[in-house]
C-alpha cells in the first residue's frame, strides 16, 4: 500500500469519474419510487401549488465532460487489495452535486464502489439524501443502501432500513416510510405511509406496496396488504381512480368508481358509473382527444329512469332512458384563425340539473359553434347558436336557432382626414320554427335575417387653451327580412316583410380638463359635452327585438352614440349628453366621479317605446333623462368601492343602484354587493322594483385555519336565495375543508327543490384526496344565484 498526498491524488482520481453522478441518480431513483402517485385525468385541482419537475425537481442532464473534484484527509492506493480509498472528510463535487462521507472505497476486483459513514448527497435540485452506507457496482446497474433518509426540496421525507437495486431495473425498499409533513423532535408527523416492502419496477413503470398502512399522528388508521400504482415518471396509465361517495335526498346513497383507460398518448377514456340507492345506475364516461392543432372532449351520461323514483309523480313522461351528451372543442387553423364548439344535447331540460351535472341555478342552455380570426386591425367572427330556456315559463319548444351571426370589423391603417376610419358589419339569421305557444294549440314561426354595415370616422385634437374636440360621423345601412308570428304580441303577429333602413350620425364631444396639483396630489375637473344628431326617425316600430332587450343606462354609456345593446334598435333624433368628471390621484388613494344627464332635443325618442321588448323604465324614456352617477373610490389598499346610481330627473329619487365594496385588513377580507332596480317577473308579466344583496367574507383564524361564508338575500320578499359557510385547514402537507350551503330554488315541473349541501374534502400532498358530501352539488357558491322565475334587467 502506498500513501499519496491530496494534491497529487487529485490528478489521478480518474477511478471516481462517475461517483456523484451514479450515486445521486441511483439514490433519487430509489427514493422516488414510493414518493408520489401520478395525477389522474379526472383528479380535482390540488390545494398545493405544483412544482415544475415534481417533488424531486427536473431530471439531471449530466455532462460527462466536466471534471470531478475530490478532497479528503487522505487518498490511499491499496495495490495489494486492488482498491482505491478516500478517507476522512471525503467530499466529491461533480455536476453541481456534492457528496460527503467518512470513507469511499473503490474495489477494482469486484467493480464495486462503497461509501460509508455519514453519507450525504446534496443534488442540484436541493434534495438531501443521507445513509449509513452505500454500495454500487461499477456500471451503476445494481446496488444497495443502508439506513436511507431523504429530505426533498419541498421538505417531504422518506426513510428506509435498506434500499436495494437489482437487475438494473428493480428497486426495493425494506421497512420504508414516506411523509410530506414536517415534525419536531419526537412528535410524529401529521400523516405518513409505511410499508414492509416497496418495489419499483422501472421497466413496467409500476410501484407496488406490501403490508402498507396509513398513520395519522403515529396511529394506524388504514391497512392494505397490497396495492400498486404507476411510478412518477408515468403521466398516463390505465387503472382505477379514487372513488367518490356521498348521500343525497333525491339520489340516495351513491358511490362512483371511475376507471381510466390510457388508450394512446393522444386520447383516453374515463368510465365513471355511479350507483345510487334511490335511482339506480347512472352510466357516465369522458373521451378526450388531443391533436396537433387542438383538442376536443365528449362526455355522456345516461340512466334507465323509473318515473316512480322521481320526487314528483307528474313526470310520467320521463320514464325510460334519459341522458345527455356534452362536447367541447378548440382548434387552431393558423396563428390568426381558430374554431371550436360547445354543445350539450339532453333528453329533457331537467336531467342534468336533477342529477347534479349542472347547477340548479342554470337558467339557459346555450350551444355554439364558432370561427374567429384576429389580427392587429382586423377581426372576424362567425357563430352558430342554439338557445334553450330553463326558466319556469320555458318548455321544450321555446328555443331559438342562430345560423349564423357574423361580425367583422376593420380599422384603416392610415389616417383619413386626420382621423381614424373603421368599418363594422354584422349578419344574423335567426329562427324559431315550429314553436308552440303555451296558450295555443297551433304551431307558429319566428324567422329573421339581417345584414348591418357601419362606417365610422372620428378625430381628436386639442387647441391652445387645452380644450379637446372629438368630431365623429357614422353611416349605417340595414337589410331586414322578417317572418314573425307572435300570439303574445298582436303588434307583430303575421309580420312578413323585407325592407331597407339607414341611419346617419354626426356630432362632436368636447371636454375641458382643469388640473390642479396640490403637494403630491393631483385634481382634475373635466366638464364634458356631446351633441349627437341622427335621423329624426327610422323604421323600427312594432318590429322584433332580438339583441337589444338589455337596456341599462348608467355612467358607462352616457357618451355612447347609441345606448342600445344590439342592432335591432336604433337611437334616433338629436341628443345632447352632458357630464362632469372629477379625478383625484394621490400617493395612496384614488377617486373618480362622473355625473351626467342626457337630453332628447328633437325627432323620435326610441327609448320611449312601450311594451315588453325591453325595459320601458330605463331612465331615457323622457326628453330629460334620469341623472346618472358613477363613483369609483380606492382611498387605501384596504378598501375599494364602486357605485353606479340613477336618480329620477324630477325628485331625485333612487331608481337604480349597483354598489360593490371590497375590504381587506389583516386576516379579514369581505365584499358586499347591493342591487336595486327593475326586476321583470315572468309569472305576473310586469316590471317591479326589486333589491338584493350578496355578501362574502373570509377570516383567517390562524396561519392554518380559515373561516368563510356567503349570503344572497332577496330584500323585497325577505328570503334567502342562497347561503354557505366553510371552515378550511391548510398546512404544508394536508388540506381539510368542510362546507355547508343552502339554495332556495323551486321548480316543481322539473323536480328541482330547495337543497342543503354538506361537503367534506381532504387532500394529502403527493397522494391525492377524497371527497364526501351529502349532495353532489359542490359548485353552488360560484354560480349566479338568480331565482328561477325572476331575472334582473
Whole-angstrom distance, CA of residue 425 vs CA of residue 429: 14
Residue 641 has a pLDDT of: 96
16-25, 63-72, 483-492, 624-633 — which is least confidently predicted? 16-25
Residue 230 has a pLDDT of: 66
C-alpha cell at 28: 433519487
pLDDT at 21 over 70: no
Q: What is the pLDDT of residues 518-542, one digit of tens each?
A: 989 999 999 999 999 999 999 887 7
pLDDT-above-70 percentage for the chain: 78
C-alpha cell at 79: 495495490
Q: Beta partners for 158?
A: 150, 178
Burial class (CB within 10 angstroms; exposed 0-12, middle 13-18, buried 19+) of 171: buried
pLDDT at 503 over 50: yes
Whole-angstrom distance, CA of residue 659 vs CA of residue 669: 17
Are residues 584 and 552 in contact, defined by beta-carbon separation less than 8 angstroms? no
Residue 365 has a pLDDT of: 84
Whole-angstrom distance, CA of residue 257 vs CA of residue 274: 7
Distances (CA, A) of 272 to 94, 268, 518, 605: 49, 13, 66, 58
Most confident of 205-214, 750-759, 775-784: 205-214
pLDDT band at 758 (very low <50, low <70, confident <90, very high): confident
Distances (CA, A) of 8 to 11, 13, 75, 113: 6, 9, 9, 21
Whole-angstrom distance, CA of residue 167 vs CA of residue 699: 56
Phi, then psi, of 557 in degrees rounded to 5: -120, 20
pLDDT band at 371 (very low <50, low <70, confident <90, very high): very high
3-12, 142-151, 352-361 — which is least confidently predicted? 3-12
Residue 603 has a pLDDT of: 93
pLDDT at 9 over 80: no
Are residues 635 and 591 in contact, defined by beta-carbon separation less than 8 angstroms? yes
Residue 731 has a pLDDT of: 87
Residue 3 has a pLDDT of: 36
Please report where in the chains the cell 354560480 appears, as a residue: 783
Distances (CA, A) of 84 to 16, 81, 136, 745: 9, 9, 15, 80
Q: What is the pLDDT of residues 595-620, one digit of tens each?
A: 999 999 999 999 886 544 456 678 99
Considering the chain, what is the average pLDDT of its residues?
Answer: 80
Element (H, E) at 387: strand 378-389
Other C-beta atoms lying within 10 Å of the C-beta of residue 451: 16
43-52, 182-191, 313-322, 440-449 — which is least confidently predicted? 43-52
pLDDT at 651 over 60: yes
Phi, then psi, of 748 in degrees rounded to 5: -65, -30
pLDDT band at 387 (very low <50, low <70, confident <90, very high): confident
Most confident of 162-166, 318-322, 753-757, 764-768: 318-322
Are residues 771 and 244 in contact, defined by beta-carbon separation less than 8 angstroms? yes
Are residues 432 and 446 in contact, defined by beta-carbon separation less than 8 angstroms? yes
Residue 660 has a pLDDT of: 96
Whole-angstrom distance, CA of residue 258 vs CA of residue 241: 5
3-state class of 686 per DSSP?
Answer: strand
Residue whose C-alpha is closest to residue 36's, from 768, 766, 770: 766
217 phi-psi bin (left φ>0, alpha ψ -120 to 50, beta other): left
Q: What is the pLDDT of residues 289-309, one digit of tens each?
A: 999 999 999 999 999 998 888
Residue 550 has a pLDDT of: 80
pLDDT at 648 over 90: yes
pLDDT band at 155 (very low <50, low <70, confident <90, very high): confident
429-446: average pLDDT: 62
Whole-angstrom distance, CA of residue 541 vs CA of residue 520: 55
Are residues 683 and 691 in contact, defined by beta-carbon separation less than 8 angstroms? no
Q: What is the pLDDT of residues 720-754, one digit of tens each?
A: 888 899 999 988 888 888 888 887 877 666 667 77
Contacts of 419 by beta carbon, 8 Å cutoff, 6+ apart: 457, 458, 459, 460, 471
C-alpha cell at 174: 425494506
Q: Report angle CA 317, 321, 322 to the nearest 5 degrees.
A: 80
Q: What is the pLDDT of residues 687-725, one digit of tens each?
A: 567 889 999 999 999 999 999 999 998 888 888 888 899
pLDDT band at 314 (very low <50, low <70, confident <90, very high): low
pLDDT at 398 over 70: no
3-state class of 354 per DSSP?
Answer: helix
Q: What is the pLDDT of residues 188-245, one digit of tens each?
A: 888 888 899 888 787 777 778 899 998 898 899 989 898 776 665 566 778 887 677 7
Q: Report angle CA 277, 280, 281 to the nearest 5 degrees.
A: 120
55-59, 658-662, 789-793 — which is least confidently predicted? 789-793
Residue 792 has a pLDDT of: 28
Q: Report angle CA 107, 112, 115 to the nearest 5 degrees.
A: 90
Whole-angstrom distance, CA of residue 285 vs CA of residue 14: 58
45-49, 621-625, 655-659 — which is least confidently predicted? 45-49
3-state class of 53 per DSSP?
Answer: coil
User: β-strands 768-773, 755-764: how paired?
Assistant: antiparallel
Q: Report angle CA 76, 78, 79 to the nearest 5 degrees.
A: 135
pLDDT at 49 over 60: no
3-state class of 32 per DSSP?
Answer: helix
Whole-angstrom distance, CA of residue 607 vs CA of residue 598: 12
Residue whose C-alpha is closest to residue 658's, from 672, 639, 644, 677: 644
DSSP sequence for 427-438: EEEEEEEEEEPT
C-alpha dihedral sign at 305, 307, 309, 311: positive
Are residues 701 and 740 in contact, defined by beta-carbon separation less than 8 angstroms? no
430-456: average pLDDT: 73
The 10 Å CB-count burial string (b at 16+, else e) for 662-686 is: beeeeeebbbbbbbbbbbbeeeeee
Residue 18 has a pLDDT of: 38
Amino acid at each position: 500500500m502506498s500513501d499519496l498526498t491530496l494534491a497529487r491524488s487529485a490528478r489521478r482520481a480518474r477511478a471516481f469519474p462517475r461517483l456523484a453522478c451514479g450515486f445521486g441518480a441511483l439514490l433519487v431513483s430509489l427514493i422516488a419510487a414510493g414518493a408520489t402517485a401520478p395525477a389522474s385525468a379526472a383528479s380535482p385541482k390540488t390545494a398545493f401549488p405544483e412544482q415544475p419537475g415534481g417533488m424531486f425537481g427536473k431530471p439531471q442532464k449530466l455532462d460527462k465532460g466536466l471534471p470531478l473534484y475530490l478532497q479528503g484527509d487522505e487518498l490511499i492506493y491499496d495495490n495489494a487489495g486492488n482498491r482505491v480509498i478516500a478517507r476522512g472528510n471525503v467530499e466529491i463535487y461533480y455536476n453541481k452535486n456534492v457528496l460527503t462521507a467518512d470513507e469511499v472505497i473503490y474495489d477494482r476486483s469486484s467493480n464495486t464502489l462503497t461509501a460509508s459513514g455519514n453519507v450525504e448527497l446534496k443534488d442540484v435540485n436541493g434534495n438531501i439524501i443521507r445513509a449509513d452506507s452505500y454500495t454500487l457496482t461499477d456500471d451503476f446497474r445494481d446496488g444497495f443502501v443502508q439506513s436511507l433518509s431523504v429530505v426533498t426540496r419541498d421538505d417531504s421525507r422518506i426513510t428506509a432500513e435498506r434500499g436495494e437495486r437489482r437487475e438494473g431495473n428493480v428497486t426495493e425498499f425494506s421497512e420504508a416510510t414516506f411523509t410530506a409533513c414536517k415534525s419536531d423532535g419526537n412528535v410524529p408527523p401529521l400523516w405518513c405511509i409505511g410499508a414492509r416492502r416497496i418495489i419499483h419496477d422501472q421497466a413496467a413503470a409500476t410501484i407496488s406496496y406490501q403490508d402498507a398502512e396509513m398513520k395519522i399522528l403515529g396511529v394506524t388508521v388504514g391497512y392494505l396488504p397490497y396495492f400498486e400504482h404507476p411510478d412518477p415518471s408515468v403521466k398516463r396509465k390505465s387503472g382505477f381512480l379514487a372513488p367518490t361517495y356521498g348521500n343525497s335526498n333525491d339520489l340516495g346513497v351513491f358511490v362512483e368508481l371511475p376507471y381510466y383507460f390510457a388508450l394512446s398518448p393522444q386520447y383516453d377514456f374515463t368510465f365513471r358509473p355511479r350507483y345510487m340507492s334511490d335511482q339506480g345506475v347512472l352510466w357516465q364516461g369522458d373521451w378526450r382527444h388531443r391533436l396537433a392543432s387542438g383538442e376536443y372532449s365528449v362526455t355522456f351520461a345516461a340512466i334507465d329512469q323509473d318515473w316512480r323514483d322521481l320526487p314528483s309523480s307528474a313526470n310520467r313522461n320521463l320514464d325510460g332512458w334519459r341522458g345527455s351528451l356534452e362536447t367541447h372543442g378548440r382548434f387552431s387553423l393558423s396563428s390568426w384563425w381558430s374554431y371550436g364548439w360547445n354543445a350539450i344535447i339532453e333528453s329533457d331540460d331537467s336531467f342534468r340539473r336533477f342529477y347534479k351535472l349542472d347547477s340548479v341555478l342554470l337558467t339557459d342552455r346555450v350551444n355554439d359553434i364558432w370561427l374567429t380570426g384576429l389580427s392587429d386591425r382586423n377581426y372576424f367572427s362567425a357563430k352558430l347558436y342554439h338557445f334553450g330556456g330553463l326558466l319556469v315559463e320555458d318548455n321544450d319548444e321555446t328555443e331559438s336557432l342562430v345560423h349564423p351571426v357574423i361580425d367583422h370589423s376593420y380599422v384603416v391603417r392610415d389616417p383619413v382626414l386626420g382621423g381614424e376610419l373603421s368599418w363594422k358589419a354584422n349578419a344574423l339569421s335567426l329562427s324559431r320554427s315550429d314553436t308552440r305557444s303555451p296558450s295555443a294549440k297551433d304551431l307558429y314561426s319566428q324567422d329573421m335575417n339581417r345584414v348591418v354595415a357601419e362606417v365610422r370616422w372620428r378625430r381628436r385634437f386639442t387647441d391652445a387653451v387645452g380644450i379637446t374636440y372629438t368630431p365623429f360621423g357614422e353611416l349605417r345601412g340595414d337589410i331586414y327580412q322578417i317572418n314573425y308570428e307572435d300570439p303574445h304580441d298582436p303588434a307583430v303577429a303575421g309580420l312578413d316583410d323585407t325592407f331597407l333602413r339607414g341611419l346617419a350620425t354626426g356630432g362632436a364631444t368636447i371636454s375641458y380638463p382643469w388640473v390642479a396639483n396640490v403637494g403630491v396630489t393631483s385634481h382634475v375637473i373635466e366638464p364634458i359635452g356631446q351633441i349627437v344628431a341622427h335621423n329624426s326617425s327610422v323604421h323600427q316600430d312594432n318590429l322584433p327585438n332580438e339583441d337589444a332587450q338589455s337596456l341599462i343606462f348608467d355612467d358607462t354609456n352616457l357618451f355612447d352614440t347609441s345606448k342600445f345593446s344590439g342592432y335591432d334598435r336604433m337611437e334616433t333624433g338629436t341628443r345632447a349628453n352632458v357630464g362632469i368628471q372629477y379625478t383625484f390621484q394621490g400617493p395612496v388613494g384614488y377617486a373618480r366621479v362622473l355625473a351626467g344627464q342626457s337630453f332628447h332635443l328633437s325627432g323620435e325618442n326610441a327609448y320611449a317605446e312601450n311594451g315588453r321588448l325591453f325595459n320601458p323604465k330605463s331612465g331615457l324614456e323622457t326628453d330629460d333623462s334620469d341623472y346618472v352617477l358613477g363613483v369609483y373610490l380606492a382611498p387605501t389598499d384596504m378598501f375599494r368601492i364602486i357605485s353606479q346610481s340613477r336618480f329620477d330627473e324630477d325628485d331625485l329619487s333612487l331608481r337604480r343602484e349597483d354598489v360593490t365594496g371590497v375590504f381587506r385588513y389583516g386576516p379579514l377580507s369581505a365584499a358586499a354587493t347591493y342591487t336595486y332596480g327593475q326586476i321583470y317577473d315572468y309569472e305576473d308579466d310586469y316590471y317591479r322594483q326589486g333589491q338584493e344583496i350578496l355578501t362574502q367574507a373570509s377570516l383567517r383564524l390562524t396561519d392554518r385555519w380559515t373561516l368563510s361564508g356567503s349570503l344572497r338575500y332577496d330584500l323585497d320578499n325577505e328570503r334567502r336565495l342562497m347561503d354557505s359557510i366553510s371552515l378550511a385547514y391548510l398546512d404544508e402537507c394536508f388540506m381539510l375543508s368542510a362546507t355547508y350551503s343552502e339554495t332556495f330554488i323551486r321548480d316543481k315541473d322539473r323536480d328541482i327543490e330547495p337543497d342543503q349541501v354538506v361537503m367534506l374534502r381532504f387532500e394529502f400532498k403527493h397522494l391525492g384526496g377524497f371527497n364526501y358530501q351529502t349532495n353532489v352539488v359542490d359548485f353552488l357558491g360560484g354560480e349566479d344565484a338568480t331565482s328561477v322565475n325572476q331575472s334582473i334587467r
